[in-house]
Amino acid sequence: MKNTTKEPLWTAEFTGYGISSSVFYIVQYIMVSALPIVITLSYGGSAFDAGMAMTCFQIGCILCRPFAGELIDSLNKKKMLLFSTGLFFLITAAFNFSPSVEFLFIYRFFQGMLFAIGTTVVATVAVLVLPNTRKGEGIGYFAMFVNIAMVIGPFFGLLILDTLGDQALFIACAIIGLIGFYAANRKPLPDTLAIAKPRGNKAWNLARFIESRALPWALMGLFMSFTYSGILVFVPIMMTTMGIGTLASYFFVIFAVTIVITRPFIGRIYDYYGASYLIYPGYIIFILGMALLSMAESAVGIFIAAPILGLGYGAIAPAFQTSSVQVVPSERAGAATATYFLFLDLGVGLGSVLLSMLVSAFNFNIMYWINTLIALIGLLLYHFVVRSKAKANIKKL
């Protein structure tokens, strides 16, 4: 058992970065849930146009994610915070001045780029200000801000759109973006952490942008986000086909609340015992929840699966992210974070496409059975491959 000391966790810097991270995801979840409705009803766009807006965001995000880490590690992190949160606010405010659907596509593309940079820099500096003895607990709480955004974003966005209209929706998003800018920059990052450390090798090669030591954990993140996309994208659609689509938001409330309630214990387990004590039981619970979802034929079955999935996902997600930055020195934390997030983006993108093909070819139940098997493969991959490689990387530090 590791001996930990209670160093301060909820500092002004860490709290501000958590709020800023939540803002990025609140705006994104608002856009994901409400923008398709705005495009089809207010702009007269098609279902293809609604999907294209999400595609433009993902393209911008994936194109920028690999470079985000290198930028953070090479430049002043304080200035990167100011730049990324400030421009994210401005591009979000620009949605108020969109004369056509094509402009929305352009805004979403640049919003995706700034989302990739902003979430990476905020996550990186949040890790840097955490005490070493409480990183697992701290990153667990940091991830909780995203889980809260998962609930607030869709609910808040659809409520404003339904009651006040699309113009009010875009104004609200801009105000939220401004709050994120203030929260991230209110307490300046200390220069000892902000200023990039000099590095000998400045050649432009793949190793500068993709941190190889974080790849095993990034691969685990890809498997996790692939299976998670089956929940995020297809649970609302499945419930709609059952005639209970109005209850879909409650599934995500149960899912997210379970994560929030268990978060304090999850982080402490990581810090005291290590990643495996979370990953093995967490993955088994997640697989059980996915299997229950594959057998669900009513709202009752789906709601029973929700807290089980939340408990499992809430254990493995922060364990993977924490481990990805603990296998590298602090000057490569940005590249490690960007590598991990890039694989998360790829997992969600691949899962959304491939799992939709399974739904079209078969049905939701079979898709979720196959998704259960993919989750099981992820657990086996960790046991036989990733665990040993991760230990080897830690020993080299």
pLDDT at 278: 93
Please report, for the chain, the start and end positions of each structural domain, with discontinuous segments joined by +. 10-187, 208-396
Residue 395: what pLDDT? 45
Is 208-396 the same fold as 10-187?
Answer: yes
Q: pLDDT value at position 397?
A: 45
Q: For residues 267 and 211, what is the distance between their CA atoms, to the nearest angstrom?
A: 24
pLDDT per residue as tens, the chain (397 positions): 444 457 888 888 899 999 999 999 999 888 887 887 888 888 888 767 877 887 788 889 888 888 887 777 788 888 889 999 999 999 999 999 988 899 999 999 999 999 999 998 998 888 888 887 887 788 878 888 887 887 788 778 878 888 898 899 999 999 999 999 999 998 888 777 777 666 555 556 666 778 888 999 999 999 999 999 888 778 877 887 898 877 877 888 899 889 888 887 888 888 888 889 999 999 999 999 999 999 999 999 999 999 999 999 999 998 998 899 888 887 788 788 889 988 988 888 788 778 888 988 999 999 999 999 999 999 999 999 888 766 555 444 4
DSSP 198-267: P-S----SHHHHS-GGGHHHHHHHHHHHHHHHHHHHHHHHHHHHTT-GGGHHHHHHHHHHHHHHHHHHHH
Q: What is the pLDDT of residue 55?
A: 78
Q: Under CATH, to which class is 208-396 assigned? A: mainly alpha
pLDDT score of 365:
95
Query: What is the pLDDT, as a whole number, of residue 204?
Result: 60
In this prediction, residue 32 carries a pLDDT of: 80
CATH of domain 10-187: 1.20.1250.20
